Structure 1
Amino acid sequence: MLTIGAQLVKLRHSRSLTQYQLSDKTGLTRAAISHYEKNRREPDINTLILLAD
């Protein structure tokens, strides 16, 4: 089973997005996305919903 971070990287790459592009689309900082992808921080439920959309 993939971690949340690994899943986020996989989905971001499947859509050919950089962390900067994802941050523009979601309003999250690029640093926050990096922390999520490296499993340094865990997104809260609202952030998960935002990323899922």
Structure 2
Amino acid sequence: YVTKEQLISSVKAKIGENKNQNFLIRADKDLSYGKVVELMDDMKVAGAASISIATVNK
């Protein structure tokens, strides 16, 4: 797992390497939908243009 700050830093670095970078969020099924949306919003503010969501089956 990573902190929000680590994730945003990584997003910015990846965008610096490739403006068309695609991102995939794999969140635990117990994480609230609201937190995932908040994370996606933060990633958009950081410059991410393409974000997808995957579920983790356990």
TM-score range, shorter chain: 0.3 to 0.5
Q: TM-score, normalised by structure 1?
A: 0.33
Say which one has the larger Rg: 2
Give the TM-score taking structure 2 as reference length: 0.31
Q: Which structure's residues are more often helix, by fraction?
A: 1
Higher strand share: 2
The structure whose RCO (Cα within 8 Å, separation 6+) is larger is 2
